[in-house]
A and B are shown apart, each in its own frame.
Chain A
Amino acid sequence: MKYVNEFRNAGIAQAVAAQIATLADPQRHYKVMEICGGHTHTIYRHGIKDLLPEQVELVHGPGCPVCVLPMGRVDDGIAVAERSEVIFTCFGDMMRVPGSKGTLLEIKAQGADVRMVYSPLDALRIAKENPDREVVFFAIGFETTAPSTALTLKRAKREGIRNFSVFCNHVTIVPPVRALLDSPDLRLDAFIGPGHVSTVIGCRPYEFIATDYGKPVAVAGFEPLDLLQSIMMLMRQLAEGRCEVENQYSRIVPWEGNLPALKSMSEVFELRPYFEWRGLGFIAQSALKLSQDYADFDSEIRFSVPGVRVADPKACQCGEVLKGVLKPWECRVFGSACTPEHPLGTLMVSSEGACAAYFNFGRKTREREPVGAAE
């Protein structure tokens, strides 16, 4: 199989970077947002930013599902996890996400039965093995992850596993992108579309970005050359005055997406009227809950979660970073009160968070103005 080395070839990367430099108008500043947290990670890990001309700026988008989860939802999850009859299961990064009173990892240390799983199907297996316990799965993620939760719930229903339920925090990618486009304090020129979300939803849902807002989109893969090629495609569109959705990741992403996955999701989920996003506020129809047919598996109904709303710490500027208004190092607590060891904001928790990616790959210090520069 050939999937990685071909997409990390330094010579080709430099040739593509040179092409991008040729396409960039020296008199213009370009702001390109990568929507997906996985792209943010690749950009920092492979130094993509350093290959681009000065006038091309990459802005990090809201595409890390852990990073956009408000503290109140973490608190709700912890309230369920603390119940004596519950085995609480979640993905790895969720364990360290701080709620207002601690993390799932901390309550595990205090005796709560919190278990990390690789797949919701593992949580279902735990439910089958522990029929006298209530097994709750903390579902989180965009459309890449939602199909696995849907498939798991369909199996649970078919097999009559009654001690299994899902605390659903799945979100959808299009509404926050629309919210960003409507945001008055943000001027973006183009978007790098999320590759693996698009494997499920296809490329068509992004067409409004081109038609309604006049911004080009390139759906991209996760290797360095994928990203460089997608930036080149966007720069070419901008240079030629075109606004289209292009698919750089066609080796994996079908234009129409994965129809069986979309069908499963539509059976199991329905849109919430609104959902809170960290840093972006409440966004209409931007998240999923279990449909009426699967309400018996809804942890929020089964356990009556408190539904608390918690404001972010005042020092934390995740919201501005999420919207691309601030760079990670411009946050007042970056690298001091907030580090990967002791994260204050969610962007420092997940390795796909912009702050953690920035911190982990060498840009640890705040870039300060030289003395006297302000005068």
Chain B
Amino acid sequence: MPEKVAVKPDAWLGTTCTLDHDGCVVCSDAGIALRVVSLQGEDALCQDAAGNEALIAIELVAPVRVGDVLLTHGGVAIGRVGEVVT
């Protein structure tokens, strides 16, 4: 799983930020793979390997099931990630 985390609290700005240890995941046009934990209407609660959770809009990749792995960017799922079999 990615070393990058989806959301990291950023206390001094009083909001959440995407600045992980090596850059801004939004501005880099990079996506993050997250697994769907539960469905909440148009959104899904998703989790990365580090246990960070984020609410992700899923209407661009619907239908989505719990356990699916989505490519997410800026709080929105833009694709699906195929499992790599090794």
Chain A interface (Cβ < 8 Å from any Cβ of B): 1-4, 6, 36-38, 41, 45, 63-66, 91-94, 115-122, 140-142, 144-145, 147-148, 151, 194, 196-197, 199-200, 222, 250-254, 258, 260-261, 264, 350-352
Contact = CB atoms under 8 A, between A and B. Distances in A.
12 contacts: A2-B86, A6-B84, A37-B29, A115-B14, A118-B54, A118-B74, A119-B26, A120-B75, A151-B57, A194-B29, A196-B78, A351-B22
Contacts of A142: 29
A352 B60 contact: no
Contacts of B57: 121, 148, 151
B81 A252 contact: yes
A119 B74 contact: yes
Nearest to A260: B60
Contact of A145 (B19, B26, B71): B26
Given A2-B84, A252-B71, A91 B78 contact: no
Interface in B1-29: 1-3, 7, 10, 13-19, 22-24, 26-29
Given A4-B3, A118-B16, A148 B30 contact: no
A4 B29 contact: no
A313 B59 CA distance: 43
Contacts of B19: 92
Given A118-B18, A145-B73, A91 B29 contact: no
Nearest to B3: A4
A243 to B, nearest CB: 26
A264 B81 CA distance: 21
A253 B78 CA distance: 10
Given A3-B33, A251-B82, A258-B78, A41 B22 contact: yes
A36 B78 CA distance: 17
A92 B24 contact: yes
Contacts of A36: 29
A144 B31 contact: yes
Given A2-B84, A118-B7, A199-B71, A147 B28 contact: no
A122 B78 contact: no
B74 A145 contact: yes
Sorted nearest first, the 3 A-B pairs with minimum C-beta distance are A119-B75, A351-B23, A93-B27
B82 A122 contact: no
B27 A141 contact: yes
Contacts of B78: 144, 147-148, 196, 199-200, 258, 261
A326 to B, nearest CB: 22
